[in-house]
Amino acid sequence: MSRIGYLPVELPDKVTVSVDKSNLVSVKGPLGELFQQVDSRITVKVDENQVVLERPSDDNQTKSMHGLYRSLINNMVEGVSKGYEIKQELVGVGYRAEANGQLLELSLGYSHEIYFQIPAEVKVETKTERRSNPVITLNSCDKQLIGEVAAKIRSFRKPEPYKGKGVKFVGEQLRKKAGKSASV
C-alpha cells in the first residue's frame, strides 16, 4: 500500500503555491504557471516552504485521490522550477522533421507530409545531422501536456518490431522479432 500522499512537497526558491476556496491550486515559478483543481475531500495546506495534503477518511477512493493529487502537485512544482524535456528520434530512410514555429512538419514514409500543430505551452526543436537520425526535442513545464504531445507524434508512425523503423524515444530499447526464416 502506497503512502505517497503523506509526503510533503518541498518548494524550491522562486516557486509559490496558493490555494483558493474552491480548492484550485496554482503553482507559479520561473518557467510558468500551472493550475490544478483538487477534489473537495482533500485539504491542501501551504506552509513556509512545503505543501501538505490531508485526507479526512481512509476509504479507498479518498486514499487513491490523496496520492494522486500529491503527485500532480509535485509534478507541477518540478515543472515550473526545472521543466520537462522529451526527445524522440525518427528511425528510417528518408524520415525527416522540420519545425516552423509551432508547426511540426513530418515526413514518415507516407505519400503525404504530416503537419502537426504544437500547443503554445510546448517548445519544439528539431535537429538533423548527417549520418544520424533526426531528433525532435519537446520542452514544457506541464508534464501531462508534453506527454500527450509526444504520444501523438509517436502515434503517426509507431516503431515496428522487425526493423525498428518509426518514431521512438531516445534511449528506448525495442524488442525486435526474428523475421521469416528461410526453409532448407
Q: Over the stretch 124-167, which tens digit does the pLDDT of each residue have?
A: 999 998 899 999 999 999 999 999 999 999 999 999 999 999 99
The one-letter amino acid code at 180 reads K
Q: At residue 18, what are phi and psi to the nearest 5 degrees?
A: -135, 145
Report, as ranges of residue numbers, the positions in the chain whose pLDDT lies below 70: 1-2, 182-184
Per-residue confidence (pLDDT) for residue 27, from 0 to 100: 95
Other residues' Cβ atoms within 10 Å of the Cβ of residue 57: 8
Stated pTM of the model: 0.89
Per-residue confidence (pLDDT) for residue 34, from 0 to 100: 95
Q: Mind listing the domains of the chain with CATH numbers? A: 4-81 (3.90.930.12), 84-169 (3.90.930.12)
Per-residue confidence (pLDDT) for residue 85, from 0 to 100: 97
Distance in angstroms (rounded) separating the CA atoms of residues 145 and 52 = 25
Per-residue confidence (pLDDT) for residue 181, from 0 to 100: 77
Distance in angstroms (rounded) separating the CA atoms of residues 94 and 110 = 10
Indicate the burial class of 136 (C-beta count within 10 angstroms; 0-12, 13-18, 19 or more): buried
Write down how long the chain is. Answer: 184
Within its chain, how far is the Cα of 5 from the centroid?
A: 21
